[in-house]
């Protein structure tokens, strides 16, 4: 049995309410040459059982469960280690894909030889109510990622034949730091300009609290990972807060 074209990495933690729908949006893809690697890390609900039950119905799904909480970055990295596909895609355990996402994205990457792509996405609340559409720029370079993270992780596909297997740093803002590192090497990320994913967000009050908790992490990002000086860090931090607020209130 040959390797699949795409490995879909699904980290999940206490996602039992959403995981069946999330995995359902993968197995219903029009593009079918893929494997799914579910990495459940330390859930206190029955997420692991839900994942295993679904995997019994589709041999393309593999489930790895851990009793301890690994965090999203470590969970994704374990999935990447296990991945057999040339293309590596990510889907969080509570997000959803359009049925044509992989078909359109892989065709786009093959046509133009692209190493890193993403799509637009729409935010949805925990109850499924749709909110704003996030339209990312057509291309993203290192200078874009110095300002803010324009790519939703659940929309990203990487070509490991060009980039190799890239792993997330196991710190806060792990996805942003990885995109920054890749584009710092001179790579450009390209968008499929369609809404092909739904990204679940917390309710407004919880979202505000979460954003305040990330302020310290944001400052560390600019000073340590983006290697910005104090004045440029202040400017970029302000730009990020402004842009992020616009996305949040849509």
Kindly state whether residues 210 and 170 are assigned to the same domain: no
With bands split at pLDDT 50, 70 and 90, how would you rate the model's confidence at 244?
low
In a domain, 222, yes or no: yes
Confidence (pLDDT) at 191: 98
Kindly state whether residues 85 and 196 are assigned to the same domain: yes
CA angle 121, 123, 129 (to 5 degrees): 135
Kindly state whether residues 145 and 191 are assigned to the same domain: yes
Kindly state whether residues 141 and 121 are assigned to the same domain: yes
pLDDT digits (tens, 9 = 90+) for 128-150: 888 889 999 999 999 888 888 88
For residue 125, what are the CA distances in angstroms to 90, 130, 155, 232, 238? 20, 6, 17, 34, 26
Kindly state whether residues 157 and 250 are assigned to the same domain: no
Kindly state whether residues 27 and 57 are assigned to the same domain: yes
Confidence (pLDDT) at 183: 97
For residue 154, what are the CA distances in angstroms to 22, 114, 219, 235? 11, 18, 24, 28
Paired strand residues for 36: 8, 61
Kindly state whether residues 194 and 209 are assigned to the same domain: no
In a domain, 58, yes or no: yes
Kindly state whether residues 86 and 193 are assigned to the same domain: yes
Q: Which domain holds residue 242?
A: 204-250
Picking from 162, 186, 201, the residue at the C-terminal end of a domain is: 201
| Of 43 and 226, more confident | 43
pLDDT digits (tens, 9 = 90+) for 34-75: 999 999 999 999 999 999 999 999 999 999 999 888 899 999
In a domain, 173, yes or no: yes
Kindly state whether residues 114 and 75 are assigned to the same domain: yes
Kindly state whether residues 56 and 135 are assigned to the same domain: yes
Helices and strands per DSSP (H, E), number in the chain: 10, 10
Confidence (pLDDT) at 249: 42
Across 140-144, 172-176, 186-190, the highest mean pLDDT is recorded for 186-190
Percent of the chain residues past pLDDT 70, beyond the cut:
80
**Pick from 160, 131, 43, 212: which is nearest to 19 by CA?**
43
When divided into structural domains, the chain yields a total of 2
Evaluate whether 104 touches 197 at the Cβ level (below 8 Å).
Answer: no
Paired strand residues for 120: 195
* Lowest-confidence region among 3-17, 57-71, 183-197, 230-244: 230-244
In a domain, 143, yes or no: yes
**Pick from 62, 92, 122, 63: which is nearest to 250 by CA?**
122
Kindly state whether residues 212 and 145 are assigned to the same domain: no
Q: What is the mean pLDDT of the chain?
A: 87
With bands split at pLDDT 50, 70 and 90, how would you rate the model's confidence at 171?
confident
Kindly state whether residues 118 and 136 are assigned to the same domain: yes
Question: Quick count: other Cβ atoms within 10 Å of Cβ 157?
Answer: 23
In a domain, 1, yes or no: no
Confidence (pLDDT) at 172: 80
């Amino acid at each position: 049995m040959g390797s699949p074209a795409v490995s879909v990495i699904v980290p999940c933690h206490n996602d039992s309410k959403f995981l069946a729908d999330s995995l359902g949006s993968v197995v219903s893809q029009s593009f079918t040459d893929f494997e799914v690697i579910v990495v459940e890390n330390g859930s206190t609900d029955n997420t692991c059982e839900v994942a295993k039950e679904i995997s019994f119905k589709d041999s393309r799904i593999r489930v790895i469960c851990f009793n301890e909480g690994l965090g999203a970055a470590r969970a994704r990295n374990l999935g990447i280690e296990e991945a057999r596909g040339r293309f590596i895609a990510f889907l969080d355990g509570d997000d959803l894909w359009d049925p044509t996402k992989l078909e359109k994205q892989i065709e786009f990457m093959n046509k133009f030889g692209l190493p890193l792509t993403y799509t637009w996405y729409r935010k949805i609340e925990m109850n499924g109510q749709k909110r704003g559409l996030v339209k990312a720029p057509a291309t993203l370079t290192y200078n874009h990622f110095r300002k803010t993270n324009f790519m939703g992780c659940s929309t990203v596909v990487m070509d490991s034949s060009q980039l190799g297997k890239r792993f997330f740093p196991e710190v806060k803002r792990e996805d942003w730091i990885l995109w920054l590192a890749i584009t710092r090497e001179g790579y450009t990320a390209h968008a499929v300009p369609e809404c092909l994913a739904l990204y679940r967000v917390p309710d407004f009050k919880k979202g505000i609290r979460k954003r305040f908790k990330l302020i310290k992490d944001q400052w560390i990002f600019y000073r340590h990972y983006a290697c910005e000086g104090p004045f440029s860090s202040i400017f970029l931090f302000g730009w990020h807060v402004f842009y992020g607020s616009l996305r949040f209130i849509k």
